[in-house]
Amino acid sequence: MQKIIQVLHPGLLTTIQDLGRTGFQHIAISCGGAMDPRQMILANQLVGNLDTDAGMEITGYGPTLHFPNDTLIACTGAECSVSIKSPSGDKRPLPTHRPVLIQANSTVEWHHTRLGFRCWIAVAGGLQFPKILHSRSSHLAAGIGKPILARGDKIPIGEANPDTLDEILTALQKTGLTLGSPYSAGRWRLKASTPESWPIIHLPVLKGRHFSLLSDIQAERTLQTLWHIDPQSNRQGIRLNGPPVLLTDTAHIPSEPVRQGTVQLPPDGFPILLSCEHQTTGGYPRILEIPGCFTHLLAHASPSSRIRFRLTSLDEVDTAAIKMNQEWKRIRQSLSDRLQP
């Protein structure tokens, strides 16, 4: 029988995400996928899934999910208060950032995210929606994949590999598994992914192709402003609020290819940061570019956070990327060691 999760409350904006769709931008489909793909991968690793399995991305306020079967789950990303209601009705906090075995007929409530804006939930076996263009991701802007979660949705989950499950549980027991009802969980945890300076997000940026349209004063102001995040922001673009930067030279720019991380400056003077569901072409001046290795920082840009740009150089970006990749390998290795029986 198909195992499922029941959606009792969808949360603010919960979507199905994996690592997105690459290779389709020539027909105007941006990658999409988890806004911080490495956090989705870690959540998957915590429950013994493949990196490419689909989970959920929650935004600001999470869903309430009912689990009819024993299910191993993990939640990564921002700190979030989560509670679990046992079949007999008593409620207690549920730990995150580690594998957690949920007892059948329990209900888990994700509340507000704290220190950050997005979390990722993986379920052992993965969420089983049909793949469209090699991915199960909800691409809301393109209208591809499962629309945002709704009350009453039944989310199909795949069959987890029983050997992998056993291994993870054995490993957890070794490090002190809190066995119990309505859940069992390990005592250790991963770090939350929120930048330490949050609610201020320091974004390293490079000059964009049209940076020179800014006067010296405008350039300086753009870089010094502590930008607010417009509540209209979404997975397609993040709009900034602050003192507008009005270009005097509104040269017509024929539409050109843009990328996740492009910072556009429309005529109203409020920059737009293109996020993972961005359109693939645009005609607004592009004043700055967030390098690819830093675009995941936008996952925690919420209306209560602030953004400050920091001009960097391509050499510095390359060096930072090498460091980040080494750190990433280290995190994955140590996690894999921990999950070995």
Partner 1 sequence: MPAKTAIPDTPGISTCADNMLIVDYKGHPDPSSSVQQLYHYLIEHKPAYIQEIIAGIHTLAVILPAPSCNREGRSRGIDYLYMAISRSRLTVPARNRTVHLPICYARELAPDLDFIARHTQLETEEIILLHWQNTYQAQLLGFMPGFAYLKGLDLRLHTPRLEKPRQRVPKGSVAIAGEQCAVYPNSTPGGWNLIGATPLELFDPTRTRKNLIGLGDTIIFEKISKPQFERLCKK
Q: Would you tell me which residues interact with partner 1 (CB under 8 A)?
A: 22-29, 132-133, 141-144, 206, 208-209, 254-257, 259, 261-262, 279-282, 289-293, 314, 317-318, 321-322
Q: In terms of CB distance, is 71 or 262 closer to partner 1? A: 262
Q: In terms of CB distance, is 183 or 270 closer to partner 1? A: 270
Q: In terms of CB distance, is 108 or 144 closer to partner 1? A: 144
The Cα 325–Cα 17 span in angstroms is 22
Q: In terms of CB distance, is 17 or 96 closer to partner 1? A: 17
Shortest separation between residue 237's beta carbon and partner 1, angstroms: 13
CB 303 within 8 A of CB 295: no
Q: Count Cβ atoms below 10 Å from residue 89 Cβ, excluding itself.
A: 7
Shortest separation between residue 250's beta carbon and partner 1, angstroms: 16
- Name the packing angle between helices 37-46 and 314-338 (round to 10°): 10
CB 137 within 8 A of CB 54: yes
Shortest separation between residue 41's beta carbon and partner 1, angstroms: 13
Amino acid type, 337: D
Shortest separation between residue 148's beta carbon and partner 1, angstroms: 16
Q: In terms of CB distance, is 92 or 330 closer to partner 1? A: 330
Q: In terms of CB distance, is 256 or 327 closer to partner 1? A: 256
Beta-carbon contacts of 71 under 8 Å, excluding residues fewer than 6 positions away, are 3, 5, 101, 102, 104, 123, 124, 157
Q: Count Cβ atoms below 10 Å from residue 213 Cβ, excluding itself.
A: 20
The Cα 325–Cα 308 span in angstroms is 24
Shortest separation between residue 55's beta carbon and partner 1, angstroms: 20
Distances in Å between the Cα of 58 and the Cα atoms of 9, 198, 250, 274 are: 12, 18, 39, 19
Shortest separation between residue 26's beta carbon and partner 1, angstroms: 5
